[in-house]
Amino acid sequence: MVTFQSNIINIYGEGGKAWLNALPELVSAISSKLDLRDLKEVTNLTYTYMLSGFQGDNPIILKLGLDNEALAREAFALKCFSGCGAVKVLAEDNGMLLLERAVPGTSLKCYFPDREQESIEIACRVVKKLHQANIPSVHNFPHIKNWLTALDKDWSITDEHLQKARKLRDQLLQTSETDVLLHGDLHHDNILQNGDGWLVIDPKGVIGEPAYEVAAFIRNPIPELLNHADAPNIIQGRVTQFAEALELPSQRILDWCFVQAVLSWVWALEDGCDTDYFERTTRIWDELL
């Protein structure tokens, strides 16, 4: 909860403080309106406030945030992924989403490191299913090239790394062929067990090539992966396994992993967050390349 509060205040300042103070009343009003019960705060909150509970007998997640546009895009992405392995949107309003809750809801993070190979196999099945979704004819999803313009600004990042990320980005975008609707942040904690299957949560909703999708998974979980003594070999093994299962060039995956590590470093600087993890992952990718 402390990290969540710090993130909100860092990004939104006094408006964030006011929103945090008003959360209990907001939750109470929504609970009454939507007939929600047994609400409990979810652990590991970051940028949105989430509670698990029930609507009638149906397990739900109530999600609240200050970025109305991001939440609306998430809801739209979930609807586009309907039938392709994503949780259902039950209700939405400005700054609020009511979502289907995966049960038991165990994330793939619990598979690390003892069930590493199995977790990759599951993630590959999830990716294949997600990428069957059609890109809607009318949408407001950004393209990954829009996200990557952030690399063109001046940042307190090693110039060698920044220049390398820009060069690789340009090469990758120029040689990209097939665009699909991407989740955009498909790491371990966003893949949850639901009965005998798996569902994804928290899609960003972005257009781009399939190889872009797997980089988030490969660099996670944070910080457990980097604290593991065999992290470089685990990462290399993931690249190889994803490349084989999804029939993607391993070098292309490696290149995207480096670009995304630097992009995540940029985003952490923008949000005033700790950048140590992204600096370390960038160095690992640099060595692998």
Instruction: Report pLDDT for 11.
Output: 87
Supply the CATH number for residue 59's domain: 3.30.200.20
Do 128 and 43 sit in the same domain of this protein? no
Max avg pLDDT among 7-11, 44-48, 56-60: 56-60
Same domain, 114 and 187: yes
DSSP state of 202: -
Sheet arrangement for strand 89-93: 36-41, 49-55, 58-64, 96-100, 89-93
Residue 6 and residue 29 in one domain? yes
Kindly indicate the confidence band of residue 3, based on its pLDDT and cuts at 50, 70 and 90.
confident
- In this structure, the answer to whether residues 91 and 121 fall within a common structural domain is no
Q: What's the average model confidence in pLDDT over 156-167?
A: 96
Q: Are residues 193 and 273 in the same domain?
A: yes
| Boundary-marking domain end, from 47, 66, 100 | 100
Report percent pLDDT > 90 for the chain. 90
Same domain? For 16 and 43 the reply is yes
Where do the DSSP E strands lie in the chain?
36-41, 49-55, 58-64, 89-93, 96-100, 104-107, 180-182, 191-194, 197-200, 206-208
Q: What is the pLDDT of residues 212-265, one digit of tens each?
A: 999 999 999 989 999 999 999 999 999 999 999 999 999 999 999 999 999 999
Q: Given pLDDT bands bounded at 50, 70 and 90, which one contains residue 103? A: very high
Q: Identify the DSSP state of 111.
A: G
Do both 21 and 117 map to the same domain? Answer: no
Domain boundary among the residues 100, 117, 151 is at 100
Total-model pTM = 0.94
Q: Which residues pair with 53 in a beta bridge?
A: 60
Q: Do 116 and 65 fall into the same domain?
A: no
Q: Do the bridges between strand 36-41 and strand 191-194 make them parallel or antiparallel, or are there none, so unpaired? A: unpaired
The count of structural domains within the chain is 2
User: According to DSSP H, which parts of 35-130 are helical?
Assistant: 68-80, 116-130
Closest CA to 142 of 179, 111, 102, 178: 179
As a whole number, mean pLDDT of residues 93-116 equals: 97
Q: What is the pLDDT of residue 1?
A: 65
Radius of gyration (C-alpha) of the chain in whole angstroms: 19
- Residues 148-177 have a mean pLDDT of 96
pLDDT value at position 222?
86
Question: What residues make up the domain containing 61?
Answer: 2-100
